[in-house]
Amino acid sequence: MNATQSTRASPTSAEASGDDVAQFEPLSKDKLFHILQNQRRRYALRYLQGTEEVVDMRDVAEQVAAWEHDTTVQQLTSNQRQRAYISLYQCHLPKLDEEGIIDYNQQRGFVERTPLADQLDPYLEATGSTEKDAEESEDDTELSAREGRQMGVSEWMTIGGVAVAALLSALTALDVSVFAGIPDLAVAGVVLCLCSFLTLKLPRSLTQSVR
């Protein structure tokens, strides 16, 4: 019985050893360049240097924005925070996670550095911007602006929907002309359907359009 257990344990140990070798396999120069070509990715990795635990993604975004604008986190404007947050959330952190540099839980907003990130540390000292950074920063800004406009539309449609529902309920309660014959249950159903649409369908469509 013990011999059988020992025999089964050997392949597992070998597989684990193979995983470790693959995990620490040196990154190619092309891969390093691709990962580090964007300033926000470099700033995010710089923030995670020396950390050994899970970090809140919002903390990363705030510090990245502060470095980007040469200011402190406390003095950041809401627009500066939002631009950094959106680009990191949708583009840069998922990319680093895909490359195995970090573990990124997008749903919960948690970021954790992996051992593979050690290979990038020597390149993080020089964090000056380049022309490529400027181009990608413009793309990030355009993405932030587009999402901001769409979020504004979502908010106004939500407000409008609530207003219509409230007006319909009020007219029914006051027995105003044609609305007096509408059963209360029907009004409640219309209001519920409207709220469900605004809560579920609209945000999903906006998210798909952003991507």
Residue of 137, 121, 134, 142 lying closest to 36 (CA atoms): 121
Q: Give the CB-side neighbour count of residue 57, counting CA atoms within 13 A.
A: 23
Is 80 exceeded by the pLDDT of residue 79? yes
Q: Per DSSP, what are the bridge partners of residue 102?
A: 113
The answer to whether 60 and 44 are in contact (CB under 8 A) is yes
* pTM tops 0.85: no
Measured distance CA(105)–CA(58) in Å, rounded: 12
Measured distance CA(36)–CA(150) in Å, rounded: 30
Is 60 exceeded by the pLDDT of residue 60? yes
- Average model confidence (pLDDT) across the chain: 72
Measured distance CA(17)–CA(134) in Å, rounded: 42
Residue of 108, 98, 109 lying closest to 41 (CA atoms): 98
Laid out side by side, the sheet with 110-113 consists of 55-56, 110-113, 102-105
Average pLDDT of the segment spanning 18-47: 81
Is 60 exceeded by the pLDDT of residue 177? no
